[in-house]
Structure 1
Amino acid sequence: MSSIPAFISELIRAANEIEKLTPHEMSRLLDRSVDTIRDMREQTGRAGRRRARDVLIDLQVASSRARDLSPEDARDTLLDAADLIRALRIMQDGEE
């Protein structure tokens, strides 16, 4: 679980240095976010909710369109992923 805070930091750092990120790196971070969120939701029992699936779809679409995202959209998407992972971590910590 200690890798989750490091990944959140990595997402925030990438968002703050968006101009240094290649489309491939952006896509890789978003794909990793999708996998992380999916795994965390399964652990917290929130995997089947409709809105939960919608967010994952949004992140997957952003990943596939990484080359076409404006710097602002790319930054916001990375920050959204970080916020969601942080919220899921808080939920997990509350259940332990």
Structure 2
Amino acid sequence: MATVSVIKLSQNQMQIMSGKTVAPRRTSPIAGVVVIRLHLTMSATTAFISELIQAATEVPHLTMAERTGLLRRAAAMIRDYRDEIHYSVTPANDGGSQEDVVYFLNEAAGFVDDFSDREFAETILEAIGVIQAAQILFEKKRKIERGD
């Protein structure tokens, strides 16, 4: 299962909550918590997509915290793929606009209780499509870099 690893910082000590120690990527809005880059592997992405598909079919059984977590993880995975493929920030691909999928997923995560089960499932399915497209671009980039 692909997860965002979280490190709690206190008195210059780091306690890994999940995963391996890697260089911190971003500081979260929660003081003392650093979000770590997702490991972008085919198996991790495939496992996460499977988890999203299962969640989309079992929305009524998900807690609000689980829904929030899924949206935030999907946004993080898309953002990390973009970073890896050097996604350009142009007016058509503006990473900070309200029309951007990463922005939308992060915002939606704060308002999951306002979504109907159907709306949440549709949002998850859209995220899956974006993750799959980003995964394809990432794999093509890797093939080009290797000279395949």
- Give the alignment's TM-score, normalised by structure 1: 0.92
1:11-30 matched pairs, under 5 angstroms: 11-30=52-71
Query: Identity across aligned pairs (percent)?
Result: 34
1:10-89 matched pairs, under 5 angstroms: 10-46=51-87, 48-50=89-91, 51=93, 53=95, 54-89=100-135
Higher helix share: 1
Say which structure, 1 or 2, has more relative contact order (CA 8 Å, 6+ apart). 1
CA RMSD of aligned residues (A): 1.3
Higher strand share: 2
Structure 1 residue ranges (4+ consecutive) displaced by more than 3 angstroms after TM superposition: 49-52
Distance of aligned partners of 1:47 and 1:77 in 2 relative to their CA distance in 1, 3 Å threshold: farther
For the Cα contact (< 8 Å) 1:38–1:47, is it kept in 2? no
Runs of at least 5 residues in structure 1 that lack an aligned partner in the other structure:
none
Runs of at least 5 residues in structure 2 that lack an aligned partner in the other structure:
1-40, 144-148
**Partner of residue 9 from structure 1, selected from 40, 50, 54:** 50
For the Cα contact (< 8 Å) 1:41–1:88, is it kept in 2? yes
Structure 1 range deviating more: 18-27 or 40-49 = 40-49
Q: Give the drift of 1:74.
A: 0.3
Deviations 1:48-69 (CA, angstroms, capped at 9, x unpaired): 2453521111111210001111
- Give the aligned residue type for 1:8: I
- Give the alignment's TM-score, normalised by structure 2: 0.61
CA distance in 2, matches of 1:35, 1:52: 16
Deviations 1:21-77 (CA, angstroms, capped at 9, x unpaired): 111100001111111111100001115245352111111121000111111110011
For the Cα contact (< 8 Å) 1:46–1:52, is it kept in 2? no
CA distance in 2, matches of 1:45, 1:5: 21
